[in-house]
Chain A
Amino acid sequence: MNSFTGITQASQALQAFQDALSTTGNNISNANTAGYSRETVTFGQNPETTIYSPNGPQYVGTGVNVASINRMRNMFLTAQSFSSASSIGQTNAQLAGGQQIQALFTDAGGTGISNDLTAFYNSWSSLASQPNNANLQAVQQAGSSLAGDVRNTYANLQQLSTQANGQIAQTMQQIQALGNQIAQLNSQIRTQSSGGGQPNGLLDQRDAAVQQLSSLVNVSTQTLADGTMSVNVNQFDLVDRTGAHTFPTTFNAATGTVTANGDTYNITGGQLAGNFATLNSITGAQGNLDLLANNLRTQVNSLMSTGKTVNGTTNQNFFNTSAGAIAFDLDPAVLADFKNIATGVSGNTGDTALALQIADTATQPVAALGNQTTGNFYNSMVTGVGQQVASATSTLSTQQAVATQIQNQIQSISGVSVDEEMSHMVQYQRSYQAAAETLNIVNSTLTDLMNILH
């Protein structure tokens, strides 16, 4: 204990309160920074010194220090937040994809393939009942409309498929970029925390990067002793002590996996999983259209080819014989001339037995279509697409409510309350004033002392 202890004490207090004010100021500045965790200051007492007293050594404190600057963050809530981001990322991507697919089926508006199918079968009924040129042409046109709409919907789905593949590639690029970012932050954090302190800003940045990554793909993280956060995607090590690894770009949407070096990893969450699901839905819808086209061919061609037209042509198909929906159309001869449509086997104008049979296939269940009529098969498909969107919408709503709850809890712990910080500022400011006043008084006592010795 010496004459200048008082000055040292006061100036240390000034420094401590100055640091506290800085921290508070930093909190206020970052009140709107996404992912910012507020910092609090913990003061500590400096070690005491002893003074002589007749009653034994007495202890006098030597002032205050800043023991730690704490980052207010709950690890458990942070992990929940990552997991919730994955769920929402997945559902969002599925919903967006589902809505795009749904928009291609215009049946809610009264036009579309459902209407075309009914109109097609009805045109055959009309022809079967009143066999004239007008009705032959009507059958030709109804068939052409139906085939055209099936073909166009398939082509639109193909476009969506290309987009979905592009989306997947983009998502993977973003995953890689974030992995690299996290690896960089890891090395900075390792350097800075080797001295013992916590680089709060960097930690916040890393958490924000992992949050973003979680929305893209399901991750699990582990913080190691040296400050590294290792990130893996279902056993694929994206980031570890050595840095970031290359995320596999070979994928199989049907099984929801990515492959690298012969190893397969499951993708179970995040936007990437949603993108895979969308791609699967598109492929499924295309497959259904293929089934529809092929079975229409079988239904109609097998009957009409046994007939004879009024001009004597036999063995004439109504639809062309390519495979699937992609090039589904009328047979070129029928497209060119509606008189190539046969209504019966005899070639007589009034013989419409085949036309009647074809009209009646509207109500015949087809084994390959799950024992449904072509109309019901298509209607089921459209309903299924709608069901996916409806259920994704509802799931998203629930997941968002959960995410909001988690965010509120995180905010409650880590969020900056400007009012609270301002009251801290008043507190530290007053303390600073008091410490400054202390310094002032100590200074005048020293001055007095100096004057005595003068």
Chain B
Amino acid sequence: MTAPGEDELRALVRQFAADHDPAGDRAEFLRARFDAGLAWVHFPVGLGGLGLARATQSVVDSELAAHGAPDNDPRRIGIGLGMAAPTILAHGTDEQRRRWLRPLWTGEQVWCQLFSEPGAGSDLAALGTRAVRDGDEWIVNGQKVWTSMAHEAQWAILVTRTDPDVPKHQGMTYFVCDMTAAGVEVRPLRQITGEAEFNEVFLTDVRIPDSYRLGEIGDGWRVAQTTLMNERVAIGGGPIPREAGLISAISSAWRERPEVRTPGAHAELMRLWVEAEATRITAMRLRQQLAVGAPGPEGSAAKLAFARLNQEISGFELELLGSDGLRYDDWSTSTWASERPTTVEFLGRSPGYRYLRAKGNSIEGGTSEILRNIIAERVLGLPGEIRVDKDVPWKDLAR
């Protein structure tokens, strides 16, 4: 069977939309969509896809959106879609793929990621959560941190230490962990904005069946690379409009409140506007590179720029607004309430929130310092850092 062209794919989607009521039961509709191979078209047939190029997904999405079809709320299940799914696809057995991918995609089962630990942040390979074999099971003990969605998740992807006697990269094993299992305790991790987007996860004598292992014993680092390489890349998508993002907040403030205007502030405003616009055009160029299959390393430049820009703009916004900038959140009540947001919305919140939340942008998903190391070493070919831990058994590392 040859792969369908764009017109055939469009016809296929229309037929699907005609056969399944988009206004009917949401879960029913999404399951049928998965079974029809229209979930993620670049996945194999039988696992929600049609084995097509990733770029053709936009044909399906736009056609279904035009029919008013429900989506799978991708922001809520981003970790499952972006990180767990490609790892299960690449390293899972047929049985594991059949079991986990469908409810993952429909959003019926939420996934989270148990990677970072208090003692293993930038140096993820130093992680120390122990998994010890016990017959057909593994017994896991340790602590994970910065886990989004752990409080809603049914499943987790988990990297553990299974052999402390070999150097750190060699002794790891990758599992799927049932978040409802005995011994899994999730605690909210309150952050500087006052709320708790993230969690700490304590694992105490958690029993994981060996059938939940992804990849070989001791091969966890290689499996984890698949996860980390697959941070979601937006392909296609519409053009990004000018003044999208945080720059819109200060641009609007400038236009609507002439009293905040000073020559000095104008110089700073325009400097930031130029940076924001350059970052936007770079993102468009990156998409064009991806569309022709030549992903450039500019993605790292974009993340560096995005973090710095968000921090600078939000810092400037507080100053621009003067004493109004000192009012936290909804301008009337400063409760610093500990809420559990599941997505991050910069706009629609106060400048103070933006300022504080943006501080996380240069830490989460790789600190800006580690990103600069990666650019210098992998893109520019400069010497790597001196690795004092390279040939040392994990158990003997200084900590």
Does A associate with B in a complex?
A: no
A residues neighboring B (CB under 8 Å): none
